[in-house]
Structure 1
Amino acid sequence: MVVERAQLEYALAHSIGLPGFTPVGHLTADLQLLQAPQDWVSVLDQASNASLQLDDSFEPITPVYVVAGGQGLGKSTFSRFLANRLINRYGCVFYMETDLGQSELAPPGALALTMLIDPLFGPPFTHVGQVEPYHAVYLGTTTPKNDPDRYALAIKRLSSIYREYVSSVRIARKQASGMTSETNVNNMDDMDEQVVPLLVNTQGWLKGLGLDLHYSLCQEVRPTNYIQFY
């Protein structure tokens, strides 16, 4: 029975073809279900259902989410939930990794900007080999206190690359569809196709120099949604 069940789970995982996904058909004593708390669900629902806003040029304002808080509060797990919700709505999301010591998609010591089109399952080590950074800067340290200026410059570089990509995609999609800025007002449902949101996973160091670096990061990425864990 155990062998048959294992074979069935393997066949199901192979048929789905999603890297890192392994179905579990039964519960064991050492297996716990991952359930999002209700306050997480409220924020996730708001992120996936909120209407896009227009700027003064009638262009959609790209959502930028910054997830902040101390260590061990669930930022990384929440960020995976949020990334998956944004992928469901927009088709893709850019994930900016700024935690040198506990990165989600990049090797330790690196800051990275990664485009996600497939949902994230499992802890960070299960993502190895599944996605490649769109751009990365290797600092060779697990804390920004060793070289804060270089850390800040790396974030500025990643933010600039993200904005350049978003601008080029928006222009290309509008040219392909024949849309103008004025037509955005009458085509609110089509604006999701012009948007590639950004999700920033931050470090847990929020005191002294760490807080200064966090403030500098927020000035650079200009979040539209700031999510604080306490």
Structure 2
Amino acid sequence: MPEKSKKEMKREARTLLRAHLNRDDRCWLMKNFSPLCSVVMLENLKNATVNFITSHPGLSYVFEQERTTFQINAEYFALRSVGIKKEKKKNGLQLSESFLSALEELVSVACEEVDGCPIILVCGCQDVGKSTFNRYLINQLLNSISCVDYLECDLGQTEFTPPGCISLLNITEPLLGPPFTHQRTPQKMVYFGKSTCKNNYENYIEIIKYVFSSYKRESPLIINTMGWVTDQGLLLLVDLIRLLSPSHVVQFSSSRSRVMPQLTPTYVDDMDGLYTKSKAKVRDRGFYLPEFADSLEFGDEEKESPVAFSGHKLMCVQLDFFFRKTPRNRELHNRVLRDLALLGYLGQLQAPAPRPLRPLHSLTPYQVPFHAVALRVIHSDVAPTHVLYAVNASWVGLCKILDDVGGYTEGPVLLTQTPICDCLGFGICRGIDMEKRLYHILTPVPPEELRNVNCLLVGAISIPQCVLKSQHGFEGTIPYVTTDYNVKLPGATGKIGAREAEETYRKRQHPKARFYRKAH
């Protein structure tokens, strides 16, 4: 294809700008335009999700800027109007040579792969830049290919869904913000129900196998893993590498993180995982994995031979950058991010901007008969007589199980085991009508999808406290909010929905950013 002339490029740029700039601004911009420059259009982020998040007291600071130490001039106000400010170099994102080298190689491999799509597993301790790298890599890949697949295995800091999920997504648009600004509907999702897999490792592995089986190998796959890489967390990571058979493992480290062994193919081959045993390499055939042979799909001619995976290429990335998280405030910071992800999801209930926001208590919920859905409280033993107490005012996964729940005249229909099943979305059980035997569910899941829901899963992911305590337009006693919660009730272990005592809640309130001061 012949290169465009300077005149053609100017004409194309002018056409694109017409919808966004007035005539004088376009003329000024085109005078400074050259064929080698890039034009970045920035607009204030004003949508229903952002408006919904900032409507809650204590969260408006999320989109505020700290007071600048640079000179305040016309440039400062122009940049501030679209959320940009100058920053000291030490506070900015500094990409190391190993970061850029790994990025360049992976993009090249993804664009030139002829025998299949690369599977890229990203691992490392907490706060070493895994999520930043994933976003950067996705955006770089989308410059050259139409889509990228993404497998989320980090339960606590999910990128595209509310926390507590393992999901597979097909990404076609660049990522330009934190997770709560780009909540999306996955191709496949299972609700694990907790922000950590501790004490339930086997179920975690089984769910990943189930979700991974939907990967079609038509696009490059990026796998995000947990930041827990010590002790049993490291053994789980070894299991995942054997199970998912990545072509590339990108291992992050920093001067602040704990030293972890390099996950070379030899190390993984010789190391026992939690559920897989070390195997000697089969010459020219890779890893022999009978443990997972039944979970993967192969052609008839492949089923006759043992399941074998080839080794991966290890890419080590050293990254050090300035951030405000410390071991003392990390958990609080992560909880705030999880709450923001939940609020970002609930923001889908709002009408598109600029229509006014409506508080959640003013929205009409769906009525779901007891007998239409099965019910299960996961990660906690709840007496059958107290199950409805656990479900009421809880965050629920709207799931689809293969079993037929019909035939029950009244309900509730209780499951004795937690199923591994597709999760179609989430909602809030905002009330239970015992007389009419109905659940009242508030959810943004469209009606055509809700018809497939026949199971409600209640986990340990809590509704953000600000949703219960800070809704506009509500008068009188706030329902479901009390300090008089008896954790000694039979079956009420204190872990249902991660309900905490009032003194614990005080520690969890969203703190105002220390660095932000209101300008006079």
Give the counterpart letter for 2:193 in structure 1: G
Match of 1:106 among 161, 164, 189: 161
Partner of 2:296: none
Partner of 2:189: 136
Partner of 1:122: 177
CA distance in 2, matches of 1:24, 1:35: 22
Partner of 1:13: 43
Identity level (%): 38
Q: Which has the larger radius of gyration?
A: 2
Residue correspondence of structure 1 range 46-65 to structure 2 within 5 A: 46-50=105-109, 52-54=112-114, 60-65=115-120
Give the counterpart letter for 2:174 in structure 1: P
Partner of 1:152: 205
The one of the two structures with greater contact order (alpha-carbon pairs below 8 A, sep at least 6) is: 1
Question: 1:68–1:201: 8 Å Cα contact kept in structure 2?
Answer: yes
SS at match of 1:66: strand
SS at match of 2:43: helix
Partner of 1:201: 224
Question: 1:52–1:61: 8 Å Cα contact kept in structure 2?
Answer: no
Residue correspondence of structure 1 range 67-78 to structure 2 within 5 A: 67-78=122-133
SS at match of 2:213: helix
How many pairs are equivalent?
180
Deviation for aligned residue 1:81: 0.5
Normalised TM-score (structure 2): 0.32
CA distance in 2, matches of 1:25, 1:157: 41
Question: 2:160–2:182: 8 Å Cα contact kept in structure 1?
Answer: yes
CA distance in 1, matches of 2:129, 2:149: 20
Partner of 2:375: none
Q: Structure 1 residues 38, 12: closer, same or farther in 2, change over 3 A? A: same
Partner of 2:260: none
Alignment root-mean-square deviation, CA: 2.9
SS at match of 1:39: helix
Q: Which structure carries more helix by proportion?
A: 1
CA distance in 1, matches of 2:207, 2:213: 10
Q: Structure 1 residues 140, 52: closer, same or farther in 2, change over 3 A? A: same
SS at match of 1:146: coil
Give the counterpart letter for 2:180 in structure 1: F
Give the counterpart letter for 1:75 in structure 2: K
CA distance in 2, matches of 1:218, 1:52: 23
CA distance in 2, matches of 1:117, 1:53: 19
Task: Tell whether 2:283 aligns with 1:224.
Answer: no
SS at match of 1:142: coil
Question: 1:159–1:220: 8 Å Cα contact kept in structure 2?
Answer: no
Deviation for aligned residue 1:82: 0.9
Give CA-to-partner distance per residue, 1:132-191, whole Å, 9 cap, x none.
Answer: 1111110111111131111001111121110xx23xxxxxxxxxxxxxxxxxxxxxxxxx
SS at match of 1:43: helix
Give the counterpart letter for 1:227 in structure 2: V
CA distance in 1, matches of 2:141, 2:87: 33
Gaps of 5+ in 1: 1-7, 55-59, 167-194
Partner of 2:101: 42
Q: Structure 1 residues 12, 229: closer, same or farther in 2, change over 3 A? A: closer
